[in-house]
Structure 1
Amino acid sequence: MVEIHGNGPLGSVVTLFRQDTIVCRQRIQDDGKYSFKIKDGPERKFLTCNRVGFKSSGRIGISSGNVSSDFYLSPIKQPRKTVSAWISTPVFREGIESFANNASLFTHISPMAYRIVDNGRIHWNPDREVRSVQQVAYKHSVAVYPSLGADYKSPIVRDMIRNPEIRDRQIHRIAQQMLWFGFEGVDLDFEGIDPADRNDFTTFVRLLADTLHSYGLSLSVTLQPKLQTHGGQDYQAIGEAADIVRIMCYDNHWGKPIPPHHSDYTWIRNVMRFAISDSGGIPPEKVVMALPLYGHRGKVDGEHALFWTEVVDILKKAGLPESHVQRNVYDLPFFSIEDEAVYFEDGLSVRKKLDIIDELELQGVCFWRLGQEDPQLYRFMDDWLKGE
């Protein structure tokens, strides 16, 4: 029998592992101490310490014998307005570079690290790249909430949330992964939930939130936009359970020619107003407005999507001056080439939409996705955070 004990911040949770299996956990109470007594074994033991609102201690190896380990957690930045973003392929490295160069502006970052795949397995995406995101985040007290996604209308997700045994096992795996790799929480992104599965999805979110909170971790949930209460995602119930609710304010005209644009100012404002209304039911301090950093040429879909750098290349190759670009009343830039409309986002168009956050007193903004965006974006973001 060995004893592992030490000190830590009040309210934090210390978790003990053997290899990748959670053995037990303990919340630090008024005396500021924790203590575990377990049978020693050949497997190496590990400890983590976590508390919502603080950077994770990360995984600490414990050798055999009685051990005393003290934990000191640093707080995550908690300004009045938060800034977050997803980092994903095909511009993962460019996204990491953007984050590293502007990390002081961010409060949360979400690398697309996990997916639910065949047989409900949780697939871990590029390890080295995600680790580099963590390293930058640690230096700047930025919380890392890796994204856990799945295919749109995934039958695997449907089967998982309908089956309590599979559901509970997956929730345990998710918590285990977040603790094992030293993340501060997870961003759940399951889209296309069937309205018939609404209650099952809500139950999954509530149980996941309760489990993560019991380990001192946070839950962010990414939701699809809507202007009515029905649908597979129960805004109010999810808003009660989750710590952060990111609402995707883009691609509302999917599959249609442009104009209209995929992220219209008036539509975004209506979506946000609904989310915090009595019908939507999400507390405004939890709501994050997710904005695009890309545009489209001719049609709103994946094939016709354009990074900001690609828009610039189109103009250069056509020999068109900057004056060829026009703006609508909400500062959205657009132009025509070869009888096709090109609508895109730049720093000024994003800044205009941030006024909605101030007006409705929402928590902040999240960008889809970093990498090859307008470099001027960060100047506008800095002004917005300063209230200018």
Structure 2
Amino acid sequence: MPYWNLTDGAANVQAHARSLTGTSPWVYGVRPDGEISPHEPNLSAEERRSLESIYASGLTTIPTVANHFDGGWQYAPVARMLHDPAVMRKHIEDLTALAVTQNFAGIDIDYEELRAVDRTAFTEFVTSLGEALHSRGKQLAVTVSAKTSDEGEAEPNRAQDYGAIARAADEVRVMAYDYHWESSEPGPIAPGHWVRDVLAYATTQVEPSKIVLGVPVYGYDWSTGVAPPVSWARAHELSQQHDAEVQWDERSETPWFHYWDGGTQHTVWFENAHSSAVKFQLAREFGVRGVYLWVFGPEDERMWETMASTGAARPC
């Protein structure tokens, strides 16, 4: 759960704790100077209470540390760390200390926008970090970009050696979303056929018992320029506000709709309980460890019911 959704996230944890095994607050970032810091150091009193309630929930807490800070991905500090042995050692010490001093079960690393030249160094980093965390009784999770081959579709894919990462980590969290993204043409976020291909490749490199499938709980509203992300609640609100009929795309197994606003046509693709159920079923089919939900904002409450089901109804 991201730092901007802590209040809703805490409510979800409290309401659906029996459906969860753990939580990963997305609350730590890597600053331009390479130091680890809270994304939002000045939480409101309500947000602080929400975060504390998540930590006190009794569920396993493995916070995510991402190279995202001040609203953008920070490649330079991670590149410096990966290619300077002394800086890497300090970074590993800092991450381990964070897990130990805050009594977290472990650390989830979500370092994105890497380059192909970082591949060997990134493997060395996660291997050494895994050893350091394990020596203190802590776990390592590594969040990786989705791909259907080792080369993948983009340079960041080539920086991540699934097999090597799996040997170092307790969990490999596969971000099976953003098949279409903010600046792409409109389309499904996580089409079922693509998620199947992602899992088919991942399970050739990683033991299924270590794979956690990332399931999106959001969408995008495309019109002109960069599409803003929308929660399920916001997508539902827009469809009602503009009297837009939600369509079900058979190929991708996801909902979408058009609407007009001020003479501009918008196209919204998003995820709901039925499209999530498709991903849950695939996770079961491939026998992976479980799923994690990227909960951007208020989600389709019906989704929680589908977790206990193996089927996915098609109506939107």
Give the TM-score range, shorter chain.
0.7 to 0.9
Closer, same or farther in 2 for the Cα pair 1:234/1:341, shift >3 Å?
same
Q: Map 1:202-281 to 2 at 5 A.
A: 202-230=123-151, 231-254=158-181, 255-258=183-186, 260-277=187-204, 281=205
- What is the aligned counterpart of 1:294 among 215, 218, 236? 218
Structure 1 runs (4+) greater than 4 angstroms displaced: 299-302
Q: Which runs of 5+ in 2 are unaligned?
A: 152-157, 312-316
2:276 is aligned to 350
1:145 is aligned to 62
TM-score (normalised: structure 1): 0.70
Q: Which runs of 5+ in 1 are unaligned?
A: 1-86
**AA aligned opposite 2:53:** S
1:190 is aligned to 111
Following TM superposition, by how much is the alpha carbon of 1:224 offset from its aligned partner in structure 2, in angstroms?
0.5
Contact 2:239-2:257 within 8 A present in 1 as well: no
Task: State the distance in 2 between where 1:247 and 1:314 align.
Answer: 30
Task: State the distance in 1 between where 2:126 and 2:221 align.
Answer: 37
**AA aligned opposite 2:31:** V
The reply to whether residue 372 of structure 1 matches residue 315 of structure 2 is: no
Task: State the distance in 2 between where 1:271 and 1:282 align.
Answer: 12
Contact 1:153-1:193 within 8 A present in 2 as well: no
1:252-280 CA distance string (max 9 Å, x none): 2232222x312111111111111112xxx
What is the RMSD computed on CA atoms of the aligned residues?
A: 2.0
1:332 is aligned to 254
Identity of aligned residues (%): 27
Structure having the higher Rg: 1
Task: State the distance in 2 between where 1:165 and 1:131 align.
Answer: 34
The reply to whether residue 124 of structure 1 matches residue 38 of structure 2 is: yes
Following TM superposition, by how much is the alpha carbon of 1:97 offset from its aligned partner in structure 2, in angstroms?
1.0
Task: State the distance in 2 between where 1:246 and 1:216 align.
Answer: 20
Following TM superposition, by how much is the alpha carbon of 1:370 offset from its aligned partner in structure 2, in angstroms?
5.3
Task: State the distance in 1 between where 2:114 and 2:195 align.
Answer: 21
Whichever structure has more helix as a proportion of its residues is: 2
Following TM superposition, by how much is the alpha carbon of 1:131 offset from its aligned partner in structure 2, in angstroms?
2.1
2:78 is aligned to 157
1:344-377 CA distance string (max 9 Å, x none): 1111110112111121111111111253001111
- What is the aligned counterpart of 2:236 among 296, 304, 312? 312
Aligned residues: 288
The reply to whether residue 114 of structure 1 matches residue 58 of structure 2 is: no
1:8-49 CA distance string (max 9 Å, x none): xxxxxxxxxxxxxxxxxxxxxxxxxxxxxxxxxxxxxxxxxx
2:88 is aligned to 167
1:326-345 CA distance string (max 9 Å, x none): 21225422222124322111
Contact 1:94-1:370 within 8 A present in 2 as well: no
Closer, same or farther in 2 for the Cα pair 1:341/1:124, shift >3 Å?
closer
Closer, same or farther in 2 for the Cα pair 1:318/1:370, shift >3 Å?
closer
TM-score (normalised: structure 2): 0.86
Determine helix, strand or coil for the equivalent of 2:189: coil
Contact 1:257-1:300 within 8 A present in 2 as well: no
Following TM superposition, by how much is the alpha carbon of 1:306 offset from its aligned partner in structure 2, in angstroms?
1.1
1:182-226 CA distance string (max 9 Å, x none): 110111000111111111110000000000000110000000112
